[in-house]
């Protein structure tokens, strides 16, 4: 299993990123871009949402796209159209409406960059991948979309069936003092402590989970934010009985399936009232995790701004 390069500095890059030379600038109308890809015999297009100083985007370029087998497979089947999530250039989406790059990024809820939206040759968005994933999972996503498995099953189910060695691991979970003990009654309508709720889905023998604990979750700034929350750890495939924030009885495994989780660790953050605010279900380092926890603890979502917009506002205020 490819687990390298899951650790890196995720502060803003000093130099702006350059797109790979084989990325294609949009014709201005995604319908025209898709028609061009279709004429070349391709599956469709991928719209890449990124930021110029995004460390996760750099990992995607320098690790995933540096793998010849991945880049060839991607280019063979898609034209890749770049979008800057802060950009002001206008696009026509496949619904026929005009959007700026920023508006388009909000439309597809690209809280984390890089994000990829896959369109088929008819112009239908068929899958969205949000955040950075290691090469083995990105390769699996490409196969899932290109071979049409998205038509008959969720990616989680596909991964479990086609790549069980990448999906299931066994072993003990990593215990931490800040985890709430069972029973796990997460019903916020009856047990609202006034604190946000963080539910962390993990697996045993999960390298990325280990890195979360030895990396971001060992930092004082992160732990200070964690202390403001109620934090529960669940095994993604465990039979532990729980009551969800909405008050429904189920098991950790069933809930994870309903949430379509396929990556561990996944952190799902809820308001004190039990509403899901956002989830971190891709590779995460210190800066991004601290920003997300700060956004939730300070109720940044109440401002009406999405996570990226709120973080930008906070940076501008600090300056």
Q: What are the tens digits of pLDDT across the range 275-294?
A: 999 999 999 999 999 999 99
Q: Which domains does the chain have, with CATH numbers?
A: 30-166 (3.40.30.10), 184-318 (3.40.30.10)
Return the higher-pLDDT residue of 167 and 123.
Answer: 123
Report, as an integer, the average pLDDT of 68-86.
97
pLDDT of 171:
76
Cβ neighbors of 248 (< 8 A, separation 6 or more) are none
The average pLDDT across 131-142 equals 94
Q: What is the pLDDT of residue 170?
A: 63
Give the separation between CA 95 and CA 90, rounded to whole angstroms. 14
Mean of the per-residue pLDDT values of the chain: 93
pLDDT of residue 252: 97
Query: How many whole angstroms separate alpha carbon 237 and alpha carbon 88?
Result: 43
Residue 9 CB contacts under 8 Å (≥ 6 apart), including other chains: 55, 285
Q: To the nearest whole percent, how much of the chain has pLDDT over 70? A: 96
> What per-residue confidence (pLDDT) applies to 52?
96
pLDDT value, residue 142: 97
* Coil, helix or strand at residue 46: strand
DSSP strand E in the chain: where?
44-50, 78-84, 90-92, 98-100, 115-120, 125-130, 184-185, 197-202, 230-235, 241-243, 249-251, 266-270, 276-280
* Cis preceding-peptide flag for 300 (omega within 30 of 0): no
**The predicted structure's pLDDT at residue 166:** 57
* Residue count of the chain: 319
185-224 pLDDT, tens per residue?
999 887 778 999 999 999 988 889 999 999 999 999 999 9
Q: What's the pLDDT score for residue 169?
A: 63
Q: Could you give the angle at the alpha carbon of 314 between the alpha carbons of 310 and 318, nearest 5°? A: 170
Helix, strand or coil, per DSSP, at residue 76: helix
* Structural tokens at position 293: 């926890």
Q: Is the pLDDT of residue 1 over 50?
A: no
One-character DSSP codes across 249-283: EEEHHHHHHHTT--SSSEEEEE-TTS-EEEEE-S-
Residue of 301 and 167 predicted with greater confidence? 301
Mean pLDDT, residues 112-135 taken together: 96
């Amino acid at each position: 299993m490819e687990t390298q390069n899951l650790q890196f500095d995720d502060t803003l890059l000093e130099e702006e990123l350059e797109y790979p030379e084989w990325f294609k600038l949009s014709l201005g109308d995604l319908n025209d871009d898709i028609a061009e890809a279709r004429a070349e015999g391709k599956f469709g297009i991928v719209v890449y949402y990124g930021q110029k100083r995004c460390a996760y985007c750099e990992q995607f370029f320098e690790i995933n796209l540096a793998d010849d087998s991945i880049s060839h497979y991607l280019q063979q089947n898609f034209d890749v159209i770049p979008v800057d999530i802060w950009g002001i250039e206008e696009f026509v989406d496949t619904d026929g409406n005009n959007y700026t790059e920023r508006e388009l990024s909000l439309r597809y809820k690209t809280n984390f960059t890089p994000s990829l939206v896959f369109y088929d040759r008819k112009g239908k968005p068929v899958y969205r991948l949000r955040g950075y994933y290691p090469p083995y999972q990105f390769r699996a996503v490409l196969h899932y979309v290109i071979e049409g498995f998205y038509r008959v099953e969720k990616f989680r189910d596909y991964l479990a069936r086609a790549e069980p060695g990448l999906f299931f691991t066994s072993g003990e979970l990593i215990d931490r003092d800040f985890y709430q003990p069972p029973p796990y009654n997460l019903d916020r309508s009856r047990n609202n402590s006034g604190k946000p709720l963080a539910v962390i889905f993990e697996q045993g023998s999960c390298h990325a989970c280990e890195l979360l604990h030895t990396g971001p979750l060992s930092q004082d700034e992160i732990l200070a934010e964690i202390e403001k929350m109620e934090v529960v750890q669940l095994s993604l495939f465990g039979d532990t009985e729980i009551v969800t924030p909405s008050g429904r009885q189920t098991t950790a495994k069933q809930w994870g399936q309903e949430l379509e989780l396929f990556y561990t660790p996944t952190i799902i953050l809820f308001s004190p009232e039990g509403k899901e605010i956002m989830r971190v279900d891709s590779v995460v380092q210190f800066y991004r995790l601290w920003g997300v926890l700060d956004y939730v603890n300070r109720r940044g979502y109440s401002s009406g701004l999405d996570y990226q917009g709120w973080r930008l506002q906070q940076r501008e205020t600090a300056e």
